[in-house]
Every structure is written in structure tokens, then in C-alpha cells.
């Protein structure tokens, strides 16, 4: 079983292109003498549906995150009293230990990684947002952890993980949230650290061999929903 990506940072669809083409049947011709000719079977092109290749997200100025594979994008404020600092593409590659590719194709490196940081940002109000792709495929058997099992395992591990960060007596629950135009399952966390309230939402959904984990964490005020609303589907 691949490790569960618990990005509690107080600090952290794919569409299968089904292109099945139906070949037209050649009309049956009967000669004048009534003798039926040999039926000719039309050639059918083999068009097995292909899976969209995984890609890592990119960041463009000003603070625009996009991942074509996930089909999501987000624009984070880069000025004013709610300014966000987003990790650059180079910083993100370094965080994953990836080698920069001129063609932008990181599929081979992604397949070798247990967990991939796709996006990370922190605001001047100490809010944090991140997107992680956790590889849940088991190469030996090609079995894949289900979304419900992943969420259950994450919830079970949360108290210990939070305690290591100084968050005790946290209230952990699940909820349905709207994320990028889709209803998604989320884990909600409410707790306190050094007397300061902490709020967190982890939106979790499965895409091919990956569990996508979008985590937002805020302090003092629960602004998690407004941060999640920065994400939208790529049109």
C-alpha cells in the first residue's frame, strides 16, 4: 500500500476519451442470376480508448495555477491584505526531486513517485493551500486503493499527525463540498494550536492511479470555503 499523503501543513475528471467508431456495413449485393456473392466484412479500425497522460501543474504570473490533467485552475491574489506567495515551477520540481524537462513531460518521473506536490502556496494571513497527487496503485498486483478506504485511513492517521504539530482535541468530520464545479468528499478539521483556532479542509477524490488531495488551512477565521472557491474547472 502506498503511503497516505497527509499534508496537514498548518503550514499543506479525468475523462477517458472513448472514441469507438462504428464502421458502416457494406450493402449486400445480389447478382441478377440470384447467386449471392461472398460477403465482404468491412475493416474496423482498432480505437481502444486511451487514458490522458498525467502532468504536473504549472504556475504563471500572476499566481495562476493550472493542471490540464486534473482539469483545474486557480488564481490566487498577489497583492493587498490577502497576498499569496506561490511556489514557482522550479521550486515545485525541486520539492518533488524532479529533473526539469524541456518538453514539459514528467509522466515517467511521476510514475516513480509515491506522492507528488502539484501546488503549494501560503498567504500573509498564514493560510495555506496545496494540491497533492498520491499514487495509490500497487504495481505488483495493479490493485488500487478505493477513495473510501483512502479517506478512512487518512481520518485514522489524522489525530497522531495533528498532535505532532501541536494540535490536540481536534474535531474531525467529513462533508460534501463544491470544488471546481464538482461535488467532492472532504475531511474537515477544527482544532487549536497554542490557543489559536485552526480550520482545515481536505478535498479528496480519485483520478486514475492517483488520489487528488486539495488541502486548505486557515487560522483564527474559517476561510477554507472561500479559498476552495478560488479553484475552477478549465474551460
Residues 6+ apart with CB under 8 A from 80: none
Q: Give the pLDDT confidence of 142-187 residue by residue, as tens digits.
A: 567 899 999 999 999 999 999 999 998 899 999 999 999 999 999 9
How is the chain split into domains, by residue range? 58-233
Confidence of residue 44 (pLDDT cuts 50, 70, 90): very low
- Supply the pLDDT for residue 168: 85
208's grid cell: 486514475
- Supply the pLDDT for residue 4: 54
- Supply the pLDDT for residue 15: 25
| Cα distance between residue 56 and residue 145, in whole Å | 21
- pLDDT: which is higher, 18 or 51: 51
Confidence of residue 104 (pLDDT cuts 50, 70, 90): confident
Looking at the domain that runs over 58-233, which CATH code has it been given? 3.40.1000.10
Q: What is the mean pLDDT of residues 83-88?
A: 97
Amino acid at each position: 500500500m502506498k503511503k497516505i499523503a497527509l499534508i496537514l501543513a498548518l503550514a499543506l475528471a479525468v475523462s477517458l476519451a472513448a472514441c469507438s467508431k462504428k464502421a458502416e456495413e457494406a450493402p449486400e449485393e445480389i447478382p441478377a442470376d440470384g447467386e449471392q456473392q461472398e460477403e465482404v466484412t468491412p475493416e474496423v479500425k482498432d480505437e481502444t480508448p486511451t487514458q490522458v497522460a498525467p502532468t504536473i501543474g504549472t504556475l504563471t504570473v500572476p499566481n495562476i495555477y493550472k493542471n490540464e490533467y486534473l482539469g483545474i485552475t486557480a488564481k490566487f491574489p498577489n497583492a493587498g491584505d490577502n497576498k499569496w506567495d506561490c511556489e514557482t515551477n522550479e521550486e515545485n520540481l525541486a520539492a518533488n526531486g524532479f529533473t526539469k524537462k524541456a518538453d514539459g513531460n514528467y509522466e515517467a518521473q511521476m510514475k516513480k513517485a509515491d506522492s507528488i506536490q502539484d501546488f503549494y502556496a501560503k498567504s500573509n494571513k498564514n493560510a495555506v493551500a496545496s494540491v497533492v497527487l498520491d499514487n495509490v496503485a500497487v504495481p505488483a498486483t495493479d490493485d488500487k486503493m478505493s477513495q473510501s478506504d483512502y479517506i478512512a485511513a487518512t481520518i485514522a492517521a489524522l489525530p497522531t499527525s495533528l498532535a505532532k504539530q501541536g494540535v490536540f482535541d481536534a474535531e474531525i468530520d467529513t462533508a460534501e463540498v463544491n470544488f471546481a464545479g464538482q461535488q467532492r468528499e472532504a475531511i474537515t478539521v477544527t482544532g487549536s494550536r497554542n490557543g489559536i483556532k485552526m480550520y482545515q479542509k481536505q478535498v479528496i477524490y480519485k483520478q486514475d492511479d492517483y488520489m487528488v488531495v486539495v488541502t486548505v488551512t486557515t487560522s483564527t477565521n474559517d476561510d477554507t470555503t472561500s479559498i476552495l472557491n478560488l479553484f475552477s474547472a478549465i474551460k
